[in-house]
Structure 1
Amino acid sequence: MKPLRFLFSTLCLLAGAALAADKPNFIIINIDDMGYADIAPFGSKLNRTPNLDRMAQEGRKLTCFYGAPVCSPSRSALMTGCYPKRVLPIPSVLFPGAAVGLNPAEHTVAELLKKSGYATGCIGKWHLGDQPEFLPPRRGFDYYLGLPYSNDMGPGEDGSKSSLGDPIPKPKATPNPSAPIPETGITGNQPPLPMLENEKVIARVRQDEQQGLVDRYTKAAVKFITEHKDKPFFLYLPHNAVHFPIYPGKEWAGKSPNGYYSDWVEQVDWSVGQVLNTLRELKLQDHTFVLFTSDNGGTPRAVNAPLRGFKTTTWEGGMREPTIAWWPGKIPGGTSSDEITGMFDILPTLVNLAGGEVPTDHKIDGGNIWPVLAGEAGAKSPHEVFYYFNGLRLEGVRTGPWKLRFGSAGLAEGKGPVKKPAAPIPDQLYNLQTDIGETTNVADAHPDVVAHLRELADAMKDDLGRDGKGPGVRPLGRVENPQPIISRDGTIRAPFAPK
């Protein structure tokens, strides 16, 4: 019997090894606030990005990949495969000490891949809630290193409100301790910014730490890849760069001829090169899918051309991201696709590639875009309609090349924070195929298209709602008595204190 048991055990091990070998590795590199044309593959004439140039030459550009107008919503879409409003119904973003975050009942891409045998790591900015219940170690990640939110969400005296070389602002008056804190967190006179490893504070982030973010994340990413090279892994690498305040690394500051912002973009390119070179050195390049993107449009310091608008808006420049998909031998090199894709497609695509099952107990909005990524003949976007949400408000809808932006008459009974102007603004129709910059309103020439898009928008009333929360919006995660990770006096909250 013993030889039979040994043979059975050996066969099981071999079968498990073969199954693991069939599962590709996944790396998602998510930059913060990068402009559409901040990198050379998408038209930059200022920033030198040789590693992203090579990535595009070896991979496929997605020229119509959507995030959200701001950080937290975009990241919720990536994690859950849903429109942000469905799973994170907040007006804007989350701040330190927030009582709410991504609901633990939501399935994350990390949790689903973990069920399929993946090692999972998150290295960088999280921004989906900073209470223990909401952080990466509780959301399917085996390892976490990074900041729980944006690098500007700390006190001015630590350098969080001023870029490298700028004067440190004077401290603000201490707020009234009895004043109510919004459920989305502390917006003024913020507490110190923590660097976490798993659920422990390992540093208070001041100027030196800001300058070391890209280098620190990159080294940790290379280490994670190396340690998990023999089994399938999922690495989520969301950089804090290039969000304000601007802090290129000490070896990068002043390196480009175009200022600190360009320095930081070029350091991000270096980081991408380190990740891809590590895959090549470990002979993992033919077995690893890498996606490079940004969470939302760039700010005015970025270059979004030829798109109109910037971060916080639902113009194309606020939501369309510079995105490159790379997997040598699987994704055709030197190609591009203008099919509608987005953050909410990441979960269903990765789970399908991993041989897992996309849950059916919760509605998701994304689709499997692998046929588009692989360049299959006739492959189309899974989205006949795409909705442009800004917080809780639906501001536009798209089908095919046609995008309708709602004027003041379309702002859903005037609810919410946006006030109608005294002079009504008409709905605006753009053909994004011929007018990517949204320069010419052609609504009067195409009343039938406008009517059809208005019908599509009205259909959303019975799901997510055009304004406020519709029946398809799911509840936020919520905790009682939320506290910042580090208090204003520098005390580290007990659950996060290192032993």
Structure 2
Amino acid sequence: MRLKDCISITVIVLIVMVVSPLALFVPEATGGESYDLKQDVRIILPPRRPSRPPVYTADNITSSENQTVTDSVENADNAVPKFVVNWLDDKILLKLRTYVRTKSVSSKKKKNIIFILADDLGWDDVSFHGSSQIPTPNLDSLASSGVILNKHYAQPMCTPSRAALMTGLYPYHTGMQNYVIRTGEPWGLPLNLKLLPQHLKELGYSTHAVGKWHLGMFKEAYLPLQRGFDTFLGYTNGFIDYYSHKHISKGAGGVDFFDGNTPRNVDGYATEVFTNRSLDIISNQKEDSPPMFLYLAHLAPHRATEANPFQAPTATVKEFENYVHVHNRTTYAAMVAELDRSVGRIVQALHDKNLLKDTLIVFSSDNGGQNIGALSNVASNWPLRGEKRTLFEGGTRVAAFAWSADLNKPRRVEQGLMHLVDWLPTLIRYAGGDPASLGKLDGVDQWEMISKGAPSNRREVIYNINYVDQSAAIRDNRFKLVI
């Protein structure tokens, strides 16, 4: 065989195309075991549909290539989100659509920014991606009225993704690329790095963190109040019990809950506690208040402690018992439903306070769902292959959208490449700052893509370069290379 032929074959073997949903989904068989695709599809996506709102395909939703979105999932890159009838008040739904049509906002007024980060949410566990099992009507209302980011990427695990969001740098440039921070470990996001809330404070914003931190807790200098946030209510480790707020791993641990730098436990289901604090922040906004940046990093739907991993209000769990017949996934569905209701309550509060038209809302997961192995939350990433902790699409390509009255081309599915690192320069641009003043970043300003459907400023996504386990991955618009 000629050298030229050998090189060609090698290249074909190395390059992994991301456009085949079956290739993306089917996990590798281990230990000589065969893998039954049909059986797994039947388990994850049962034929029964919920008795809740009917699924419909939204009208006049177009892609960034000006093509009408069709109801085909033949190509994972062009998988068509569907939308369920919303549960928000009809007047608020009308406002969501009216604001983005009339652009009745002042370009001179600085806008509020709310960034909602879900934890371990599966790609197919939101109904704007076509899920018939877990209705997410409030998320769908925002997504269908805004811009769905169909090629939005994160890191494969919690800590690296949060580091990417806060710094605008790939984690392999900050030393955060290998793993998550575990209890008591003496490391964190380097203190010499300037974080997103610090940049926004310089632009006149009040900054608030609610929920999960997970960027360092062994010294006070690594906590949120020392990294640019004015207020913080939440926990510092990777997960806690939804009710007791204890972090227990391998039989050891205790309450991990802070108000600012002060340990303080608050009674209640974690999703509701974090939502209530967010509502308080919104309620305290006055006419003459500075614009707010609210970073709401939910625990949901990450599993909780080893002893009691799946937790949700009993009434919510019962809503799913009649058609979700997979062990633990009934409770997982309830956890996602509570997350969705949290978003609905926040939109309602913004509307009641007359702040909705002056607020950018971003929603994303920190990584894909984990459906097998330690800390599995039985999430579904269909039709994407892989899960959390992997560099495959199921671990890194996440559900995301943006809603704002400042969108020039709303109600569309954006196919341009985007990564969590892009949000820092994008939000600085939206807040009236100059991304060019931020220095050398891996992130790029994507506001023109999001707001107008302009081509993405990103030509490729680097998933990770990990010197510890010798893994790496990169993709452009057509191909993906996994090492």
Structure 1 length normalisation: TM-score?
0.67
Q: Structure 1 pair 158/336, CA: closer, same or farther in 2 (3 Å)?
A: closer
Q: What does 1:117-266 correspond to in 2, within 5 Å? A: 117-130=204-217, 131-152=219-240, 188-203=250-265, 212-230=269-287, 231-245=290-304, 246-257=310-321, 258=324, 259-266=330-337
How far residue 362 of structure 1 moved from its aligned partner, in angstroms, is 5.1
1:251-277 Cα distance to aligned partner (Å, 9 max, x none): 533332331000010010000001111
1:128-182 Cα distance to aligned partner (Å, 9 max, x none): 001311111001100000011222599xx98756xxxxxxxxxxxxxxxxxxxxx
Tell me, in whole angstroms, the C-alpha distance in 1 between the residues paired with 2:124 and 2:408. Answer: 23
Preserved contact between residue 27 and residue 235 of structure 1 (Cα < 8 Å)? yes
How far residue 88 of structure 1 moved from its aligned partner, in angstroms, is 3.5
Task: Name the aligned partner's letter for residue 262 of structure 2.
Answer: K
Does 1:40 pair with 2:127? yes
Tell me, in whole angstroms, the C-alpha distance in 2 between the residues paired with 1:390 and 1:192. Answer: 34
Q: What does 1:427-466 correspond to in 2, within 5 Å? A: none
How far residue 95 of structure 1 moved from its aligned partner, in angstroms, is 1.2
How far residue 389 of structure 1 moved from its aligned partner, in angstroms, is 0.9
Q: Residue 24 of structure 1 is aligned with which of 107, 111, 128?
A: 111
1:433-458 Cα distance to aligned partner (Å, 9 max, x none): xxxxxxxxxxxxxxxxxxxxxxxxxx
Counterpart of 1:451?
A: none
Counterpart of 1:52?
A: 139
Tell me, in whole angstroms, the C-alpha distance in 1 between the residues paired with 2:245 and 2:139. Answer: 32
Counterpart of 2:409?
A: 332
- Name stretches of at least 5 consecutive residues in structure 1 with no aligned partner: 1-17, 162-186, 407-499
Task: Name the aligned partner's letter for residue 336 of structure 1.
Answer: V
SS of residue paired to 2:280: helix
Tell me, in whole angstroms, the C-alpha distance in 2 between the residues paired with 1:308 and 1:391. Answer: 20
Preserved contact between residue 60 and residue 325 of structure 1 (Cα < 8 Å)? yes
Q: Structure 1 pair 228/111, CA: closer, same or farther in 2 (3 Å)?
A: same
Task: Name the aligned partner's letter for residue 410 of structure 2.
Answer: G
SS of residue paired to 1:305: coil
SS of residue paired to 2:232: strand
Tell me, in whole angstroms, the C-alpha distance in 1 between the residues paired with 2:353 and 2:452. Answer: 26
Q: Structure 1 pair 160/129, CA: closer, same or farther in 2 (3 Å)?
A: closer
SS of residue paired to 1:114: helix
Preserved contact between residue 151 and residue 417 of structure 2 (Cα < 8 Å)? yes
How far residue 331 of structure 1 moved from its aligned partner, in angstroms, is 5.2
Does 1:268 pair with 2:332? no
SS of residue paired to 2:160: helix
Task: Name the aligned partner's letter for residue 53 of structure 1.
Answer: D
Q: Structure 1 pair 33/249, CA: closer, same or farther in 2 (3 Å)?
A: same
How far residue 278 of structure 1 moved from its aligned partner, in angstroms, is 1.2
Tell me, in whole angstroms, the C-alpha distance in 1 between the residues paired with 2:465 and 2:334. Answer: 31
1:321-356 Cα distance to aligned partner (Å, 9 max, x none): 100110135253321111111110111011111122
Counterpart of 2:8?
A: none
How far residue 190 of structure 1 moved from its aligned partner, in angstroms, is 3.6
Counterpart of 1:388?
A: 463
Q: Structure 1 pair 67/280, CA: closer, same or farther in 2 (3 Å)?
A: same
Preserved contact between residue 119 and residue 228 of structure 1 (Cα < 8 Å)? no
Calculate percent identity across the aligned residue pairs: 32
1:420-444 Cα distance to aligned partner (Å, 9 max, x none): xxxxxxxxxxxxxxxxxxxxxxxxx
Tell me, in whole angstroms, the C-alpha distance in 1 between the residues paired with 2:406 and 2:351. Answer: 13
RMSD (CA atoms): 2.4
Q: What does 1:84-123 correspond to in 2, within 5 Å? A: 84-123=171-210
SS of residue paired to 1:191: strand
- Name stretches of at least 5 consecutive residues in structure 2 with no aligned partner: 1-104, 305-309, 325-329, 372-377
Tell me, in whole angstroms, the C-alpha distance in 1 between the residues paired with 2:438 and 2:404. Answer: 31
Q: Structure 1 pair 60/267, CA: closer, same or farther in 2 (3 Å)?
A: same
Q: Structure 1 pair 347/129, CA: closer, same or farther in 2 (3 Å)?
A: same
Q: What does 1:453-492 correspond to in 2, within 5 Å? A: none
Counterpart of 1:69?
A: 156
Preserved contact between residue 317 and residue 333 of structure 2 (Cα < 8 Å)? no
Q: Structure 1 pair 342/396, CA: closer, same or farther in 2 (3 Å)?
A: same
Counterpart of 2:9?
A: none
Tell me, in whole angstroms, the C-alpha distance in 2 between the residues paired with 1:27 and 1:235. Answer: 5
Tell me, in whole angstroms, the C-alpha distance in 2 between the residues paired with 1:368 and 1:338. Answer: 16
Tell me, in whole angstroms, the C-alpha distance in 1 between the residues paired with 2:295 and 2:478. Answer: 32
Q: What does 1:292-311 correspond to in 2, within 5 Å? A: 292-300=363-371, 301-311=378-388
Q: Structure 1 pair 92/337, CA: closer, same or farther in 2 (3 Å)?
A: same
Task: Name the aligned partner's letter for residue 27 of structure 1.
Answer: I
Preserved contact between residue 248 and residue 263 of structure 1 (Cα < 8 Å)? yes
Q: Residue 361 of structure 2 is aligned with which of 260, 285, 290?
A: 290
Structure 2 length normalisation: TM-score?
0.69
Tell me, in whole angstroms, the C-alpha distance in 2 between the residues paired with 1:225 and 1:114. Answer: 17
Q: Structure 1 pair 112/329, CA: closer, same or farther in 2 (3 Å)?
A: closer
How far residue 383 of structure 1 moved from its aligned partner, in angstroms, is 1.6
Q: What does 1:321-400 correspond to in 2, within 5 Å? A: 321-330=398-407, 332-358=409-435, 363-376=440-453, 379-389=454-464, 391-392=466-467, 393-400=470-477
SS of residue paired to 1:92: coil
Task: Name the aligned partner's letter for residue 142 of structure 1.
Answer: D
Task: Name the aligned partner's letter for residue 464 of structure 2.
Answer: F
Q: Structure 1 pair 267/390, CA: closer, same or farther in 2 (3 Å)?
A: farther
